[in-house]
């Protein structure tokens, strides 16, 4: 998955509390900036079996790729979250959302009569 901007639910440090943080717009030399400049907001990009081999070849040279996980530090984003990668060499498929919204945590409280396996109901 990749994104240009929006929000993310992440901590500032390992074991830290979850915060809703603003994702900074992508670095100018990154895959994310290339995809942000595409005239569609969301798409699935097949890389192992591409629909257009020319596009896959254009994406082969290494460039910056952003990784946001359980930790996100916008103040040190370039050092903390970007690395050099070749997207087609790394992934079979790539899913792009230009703008993201942080996930919302499920409630821990059970409603009366709920199954013991709440929230999954298995």
Q: Where are the domains of the chain?
A: 2-100
| Per-residue pLDDT at 34 exceeds 70 | yes
* CA separation, residue 30 to residues 11, 34, 68, 101, 102 (Å): 24, 7, 14, 21, 22
| Digit-coded pLDDT (tens) for 36-86 | 999 999 999 999 999 999 999 999 999 999 999 999 999 999 999 999 999
> What's the rounded Cα separation, in Å, for the pair 25 and 52?
27
Please provide the CATH number assigned to the domain covering 2-100: 3.40.1660.10
């Amino acid at each position: 998955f990749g994104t240009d901007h929006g929000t993310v639910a992440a901590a500032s440090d390992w074991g830290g509390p979850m915060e809703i943080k603003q994702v900074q717009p992508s670095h100018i030399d990154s895959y994310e900036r290339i995809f942000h400049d595409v005239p569609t907001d969301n798409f699935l990009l097949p890389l192992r079996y591409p629909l257009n081999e020319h596009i896959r070849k254009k994406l082969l040279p290494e460039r910056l790729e952003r990784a946001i996980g359980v930790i996100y530090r916008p103040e040190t984003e370039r050092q903390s979250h970007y690395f050099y990668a070749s997207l087609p060499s790394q992934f079979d498929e790539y899913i792009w959302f230009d703008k993201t919204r942080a996930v919302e945590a499920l409630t821990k409280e059970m409603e009366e009569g709920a199954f013991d396996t709440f929230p999954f109901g298995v």
